[in-house]
Amino acid sequence: MEKVDDRHLRALLGSAGKSIAQQAGAKGVVARLKLAHSPQDFATVLQDVDLGLDEPARQTIWAAAVDHDRWEETHATLLRSAEQHLVDKFSASS
């Protein structure tokens, strides 16, 4: 798969993080994301998560997640997005 532009990837990860935060069990997904310390761990978590994206977008994230040169940034961006959207979700309901 061709490497996607970093801005496009960040936008996809932002959308995926928002989708994760809106799901039942979002806190558990975020906790599992925090425990991912390798591309394999990250890929395992992603297998079970609905990212709320179409298949080509999901494949783009998947490719970056298993890329040894990009997985850490991909992981951090997705985790940060999901955490921020969770905070926003609970702040809005207060």
Per-residue pLDDT of the chain (94 residues; tens, 9 = 90+): 566 788 999 999 999 999 999 999 999 999 999 999 999 999 999 998 999 999 999 999 999 999 999 999 999 999 999 999 999 887 866 5
CB neighbourhood size of 65 (10 A)? 21
> The whole model's pTM is what?
0.90
Does residue 82 lie in a domain region? yes
Does residue 1 lie in a domain region? no
Q: What is the DSSP letter of 38?
A: S
How many domains is the chain built from?
1
Residue 39 structure tokens: 């591309």
**pLDDT the model gives residue 4:** 72
CA distance 58 to 16: 9
77: domain range? 6-92
- DSSP H or E run through 5: none
**C-alpha pair distances (Å), 49 with each of 44, 54, 56:** 9, 13, 16
**pLDDT the model gives residue 2:** 61
